[in-house]
Amino acid sequence: MAQNISSKELLGQLLAKHYDDALEAKKSGELVAWSTSIAPQELLETMGIQVVYPENHAAAIGARKGSQEFIDYSEGNGYSIDLCSYARVNLGYMNLKESSAGNIPMPDFIFCCNNICNTVIKWYENIAKELHIPMILFDLPFNHTYEVPDHSVRYIRGQFENAIAQLEQISGKKFDHDRFKEVMKISSETATWWKKATALAAAKPSPLNGFDLFNYMATIVCMRGKREGLELFKLWAEELQAKIDLGQGPWKDQEEKYRVMWDGIACWPYLSDTYKVLKKNGINMVTSTYPDSWTIVYESDDLDGMAKAYSSNYANRSLEFGVDNIVNIVNEFSLDGIIYHSNRSCKLMDFRQYEVQRQVEARTGVGSVIFDGDQTDPRAFSVAQYETRVQALVEMMEQRKKRG
């Protein structure tokens, strides 16, 4: 790694390399997989299979304001406006194959895990059907109980073992269990350093402008099983700690007045707008419910632990767990308020958002607002509505501070 490089510079280099390596692998006749964002990448890394993440790619397209072209193409082909916009962008890209956010190679097989939502199954099934390629599916049951039950762990572990056999068949190579242990160790260490870095935002003032968090999320998705990812998050943690030691906040030109959490995915086409409205009001988004989703930590060579970890992310847990999780975040990060993004694409998360909001406010006294939007469909967001909601939150936070 080059000396004196910043984590942000390294982040850009790693993401560029990630896509370049996948494109080169495809040209060389090597296997390429398309995978959901929180899938057991350890299996693919062990086999040396290049993998790209359509969710990451769709988010990048949205952030560069290029999503509407792909959405229009998908809807013109009969896909409903009510489907996840990541899916509509990706299904459009699958035909158009050219984007302002860079390109990804077509997959040789699909690697799908439904611990983030169930709609990904149909999205990825459609890809596999249209391209006539295999699909490996990991069915991780929703945890209606507070903890992940033992029977689910056994069920998921069995699927991991079956996927290894499927990968051997697809690739024609034997699975290297010693290499697997090594990848498991790297993945857990990377997730641990990701957690350490994001947890440093709890300092007052926070060293982290939370919208930077959204940028680093791209690498925890695609670099968790690689040493380069581990080095990135170590470097990021060191930089954030250095800012804490110097008493530096998130911005050079103004102070952090209010601290909030953002619940839900960013509105990628309006990243600048949503950020500027907050900063104008002295609001720093210090954290989100998302960092813990990639804190997938387990002991190396513990397949049961790995199975449980993959079933433990926030989106796959009960309402009670979700409320407790946000209450803990409110206390850990000394939050003044919460912004809930009612994301049209994420039905699973949105349908319970109002109840989560009600229970969290009752237990913490911290005010919150909900605004309508979407992760990549630019038609579902209004800057004016968002600004009105933020102003209402400022009034709530100010009143609470006055009350002491």
Q: Quick check: 61 pLDDT over 90?
A: yes
Question: Using CA atoms, how far apart are residues 141 and 318, in angstroms rounded to an integer?
Answer: 11
Query: Is the four-CA dihedral 176, 179, 181, 184 of positive or negative sign?
Result: negative
Question: Using CA atoms, how far apart are residues 117 and 252, in angstroms rounded to an integer?
Answer: 39
Q: Quick check: 3 pLDDT over 80?
A: no
Percent of the chain scoring above 90 in pLDDT: 93
Average pLDDT over residues 254-275: 96
Give residue 5's identity as a one-letter amino acid code: I
- Taking only the tens place, the pLDDT of each residue in 105-146 is 999 999 999 999 889 999 999 999 999 999 999 999 999 999
Tokens standing for residue 388: 């009105």
What is the pTM (predicted TM-score) of this model?
A: 0.95
Q: Quick check: 2 pLDDT over 60?
A: no
DSSP secondary-structure letter at 334?
T
- Taking only the tens place, the pLDDT of each residue in 345-359 is 988 778 899 999 999
Residue among 278, 236, 284, 239 nearest 371 (CA): 278
24-175 topology per CATH: Rossmann fold (3.40.50)
Residue among 43, 61, 60 nearest 51 (CA): 43
Q: Which residues of 91-121 are buried (b: 16+ CB within 10 A; e: fewer)?
A: bbbbeeeebebeebbebbbbbbbbbbbebbb
What pLDDT does 347 receive?
Answer: 80
Average pLDDT over residues 207-230: 94
- Measured from the Cβ of residue 164, the count of other Cβ atoms closer than 10 Å reads 19
- Angle ∠(104,234,61) on CA atoms, nearest 5: 25
Average pLDDT over residues 178-193: 97
Average pLDDT over residues 62-66: 96
Residue among 200, 236, 203 nearest 217 (CA): 236
- Taking only the tens place, the pLDDT of each residue in 236-255 is 999 999 999 999 999 999 99
CA distances from 366 to 80, 197, 260, 296, 362 (A): 37, 25, 10, 29, 8
Tokens standing for residue 102: 């860079």
- Tokens 């079933």: give the residue: 311
Mean pLDDT of the residues in the chain: 96
Q: Quick check: 1 pLDDT over 70?
A: no
